[in-house]
Amino acid sequence: MILVTGGLGYIGSHTLVELLNAGYDVCVIDNLANTTIDVKDKIKKITGKDFKVYIGDILDEKLENQIFEENKIDAVIHFAGLKAVGESSVIPLEYYRNNVEGTLHLLEVMKKHDCKSIVFSSSATVYGSQEVQPLKEDAPLMDATNPYGRTKRFIEDILKDLYKSDNSWHIILLRYFNPIGAHESGLIGEKPNGIPNNLMPYITQTAIGAREYLNVFGSDYKTHDGTGVRDYIHVCDLAHGHLLALRKIEKDKERNIAKLDIYNLGTGNGYSVLDIVNTFMKVNNINVPYRIVDRRPGDIDCCYADATKAHNELGFKCEKNLADMCKDSWNFQKNIKDDGGQN
């Protein structure tokens, strides 16, 4: 049985689809801080399979012990966390408590129950601003520019120290680049609370008329058209990466090899803000009004992955291109709208 923390969230829900379709037994702990319980039914509808959801917090050790007592957990995929970069500077203590302390509780309970296999959601944010692109896993890490990024860096360090102290753990740190898109069914996707911080949800909300225009943050970056470049990856490709990471851990266990591995999950392609906007308008045949404004503080020029290591060691390969990402994001946005927000 695989325990998925934060499994009803954006990336967690798509990963559950991958795991259930691959025949895994799963259970979920989610406190619904950034999702709703109906996502469970959407996942059931897509996969035809049921699974147990514990509504609760990873800070609640009593509940976590109960989960480990009621289920034989072989490995944990750990998504649960707060993720809004801007908000993390306003309420840093909540971010450190939720993300860092929450992870400590989880690891203590895992250790107590002799479950020593974990896949952790890290982020390309740990690289900070780097001259050399594409980014490789062994690039020297720069200080994060915000508390959210620092929680990812701290948790990476905690997991590295844990492995050093006891090398019977199997730990995989997955550094995600920029996930966008949605499941092709249009049933699950990213539903941000309030005004979106991230580019793609802002584009889809502008296209549907909920926002007047998109603000393009800066046009004087050192990139091909002056707007910021990122490595956008379809959330289903990203989700598949977790299945591959789990399989790697299973193989290592069979061969008695304990390990801590780090993998970038990105496509290796860098696209600018205007590349995304123009592709979105073209493939969906819809206008997205935009205006160029000042840079957003803390943003970097360019960030994209060298994903060779994940390809060579996990067999990771992205199946979806930018057009698919734009189409699926739009399909999900239209579905929410058609459903009066109930979908």
Residue 217 touches ligand UFG, criterion: CB under 6 A: yes
Rg for the chain, CA atoms, rounded: 19
Nearer to ligand UFG, 13 or 329 (CB): 329
95 part of the active site: no
CA distance 28 to 211: 34
Nearer to ligand UFG, 117 or 151 (CB): 151
Residue 126 DSSP label: G
CA 321 to chain centre: 18
**Which position among 24, 79, 202, 316 is part of the footprint of ligand NAD (CB under 6 A)?**
79
Least Å from the CB of residue 273 to ligand UFG = 5
**Which position among 83, 150, 234, 242 is part of the footprint of ligand NAD (CB under 6 A)?**
83
- Residue 217 binds which of ligand NAD, ligand UFG, none (CB < 5-8 A, kind-dependent): ligand UFG
Note the residue count of the chain: 343
Nearer to ligand UFG, 117 or 125 (CB): 125
* Single-letter code of the amino acid located at 214: L
User: Between residue 97 and residue 156, which ones bind ligand UFG under the rule CB under 6 A?
Assistant: 123-125
**Which position among 24, 51, 176, 304 is part of the footprint of ligand UFG (CB under 6 A)?**
176
Nearer to ligand UFG, 123 or 204 (CB): 123
Site string for ligand UFG, 219-248 (x = CB under 6 A): ---------x-x------------------
Residue 146 touches ligand NAD, criterion: CB under 6 A: no
CA distance 314 to 245: 7
- Residue 35 binds which of ligand UFG, ligand NAD, none (CB < 5-8 A, kind-dependent): ligand NAD
Catalytic position from the list 127, 148, 176, 232: 148
Question: φ and ψ at 140, to 5 degrees?
Answer: -65, 135
Residue 276 touches ligand NAD, criterion: CB under 6 A: no
- Residue 230 binds which of ligand NAD, ligand UFG, none (CB < 5-8 A, kind-dependent): ligand UFG
Q: Which two tokens stand for residue 58?
A: 């990873």
* Single-letter code of the amino acid located at 324: D
State the DSSP H helix or E strand holding residue 160, giving kind and residue range, or none if neither.
helix 147-165
Strands 117-123 and 170-176: parallel
CA distance 309 to 123: 16
Nearest one of 11, 45, 82 to 28, comparing CA atoms: 11
Site string for ligand UFG, 10-49 (x = CB under 6 A): ----------------------------------------
**Which position among 147, 179, 181, 186 is part of the footprint of ligand NAD (CB under 6 A)?**
179
**Which position among 20, 63, 85, 325 is part of the footprint of ligand UFG (CB under 6 A)?**
85
Q: Which residues contact 332 (CB under 8 A, 6 or more apart)?
A: 182, 183, 186, 188, 189, 190, 204
Which residues share a beta bridge with 260?
171
Least Å from the CB of residue 277 to ligand UFG = 9
Q: Which residues contact 180 (CB under 8 A, 6 or more apart)?
A: 190, 198, 199, 200, 232, 233, 234, 235, 325, 329
CA distance 242 to 40: 19
Contact positions toward ligand UFG, by CB under 6 A?
83, 85, 123-125, 176-178, 197-199, 202, 214-217, 228, 230, 273, 296, 299
- Which residues are catalytic, by number? 148
